[in-house]
């Protein structure tokens, strides 16, 4: 299989560090040269030691699952001859305790809303495509988190 890489870079700057009051802001670097500002979540590490305007690992986890599902859904829709104009997902991840009592992302719920042009799938077909996209999603198959898909809106039958 192909490797997938990310470079995560953090620098202390002038902070003392051992007082635990250092910035958690850092950078994610990906192939192709894209750099994303990242940080611990302000829900985990209070401001100003975190950066509210950066992506945190929990948000990235939810976004990655949503993105993977979307890419499979678009592939399947095209295979079925449906023309997708827009796909929007307001995905939500819930932090809780796992079976071992450790803090974990215990549920991710996807809320995909899909706009089609021309022939639209019946609701049962739309649900089946989302079910197959979930079954094929590499990331959903890689985690122990329950990943749910709850489509938003009803296409015209």
> Are 66 and 132 found together in one domain?
yes
Which one, of 115, 109, 108, lies nearest residue 88 by Cα?
115
Same-domain pairing of 66 and 124: yes
From residue 14, alpha-carbon distances to 1, 22, 25, 83, 113 in Å are 41, 9, 13, 53, 46
Domain containing 98 equals 57-149
Cα 84 to Cα 87, 99, 103, 128, 148, distances in angstroms: 7, 39, 38, 16, 21
The domain that contains 131 carries what CATH number?
3.30.300.20
pLDDT at 154: 62
Q: What is the pLDDT of residues 40-64, one digit of tens each?
A: 999 999 999 999 999 999 999 999 9
Same domain, 62 and 119: yes
The vertex-75 CA angle with 69 and 81, nearest 5°, equals 135
Identify the band that residue 152 occupies on the pLDDT scale cut at 50, 70 and 90: confident
Q: First CA to last CA across the chain, in angstroms?
A: 41
Confidence of residue 156 (pLDDT cuts 50, 70, 90): low
Q: Is residue 155 part of a domain?
A: no
Structure letter (DSSP) for residue 71: H
pTM confidence score: 0.87
What is residue 77's predicted lDDT score, i.e. its pLDDT?
A: 97
Give a yes or no: residue 154 inside a domain.
Answer: no
Asked if residues 140 and 68 have their Cβ atoms less than 8 Å apart, the reply is yes
If asked whether residues 69 and 36 sit together in one domain, one would say no
Claim to verify: residue 79 and residue 118 sit in the same structural domain: yes
* Tens of pLDDT, residues 9-45: 999 998 889 999 999 999 999 998 999 999 999 999 9
**Cβ(133)–Cβ(121) below 8 Å:** no
Name 91's Cβ contacts closer than 8 Å, sequence gap at least 6: 62, 63, 65, 66, 108, 109, 110, 111
Which ranges of 14-156 would DSSP assign to H, the alpha helix? Answer: 57-79, 123-136
Query: Does residue 156 belong to any structural domain of this protein?
Result: no
Please state the separation of Cα 30 from the chain's center in Å: 16
């Amino acid at each position: 299989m192909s490797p997938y890489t990310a470079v995560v870079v953090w620098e202390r700057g002038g902070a003392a560090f051992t007082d635990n009051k250092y910035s958690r802001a850092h950078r994610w670097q990906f192939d192709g040269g894209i750099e994303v500002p990242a940080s611990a979540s302000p829900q985990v590490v209070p401001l100003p030691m975190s950066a509210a305007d950066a992506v945190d690992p929990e948000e990235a986890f939810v976004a990655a699952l949503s993105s993977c599902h979307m890419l499979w859904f678009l592939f399947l829709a095209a295979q079925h001859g449906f023309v997708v104009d827009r796909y929007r997902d307001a995905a939500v991840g819930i932090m809780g305790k796992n079976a071992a009592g450790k803090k974990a992302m215990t549920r991710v719920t996807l809320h995909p809303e899909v706009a089609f042009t021309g022939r639209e799938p019946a609701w049962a077909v739309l649900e089946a495509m989302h079910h197959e996209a979930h079954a094929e999603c590499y990331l959903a198959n890689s985690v122990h988190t329950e990943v749910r898909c709850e489509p938003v809106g009803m296409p015209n039958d």
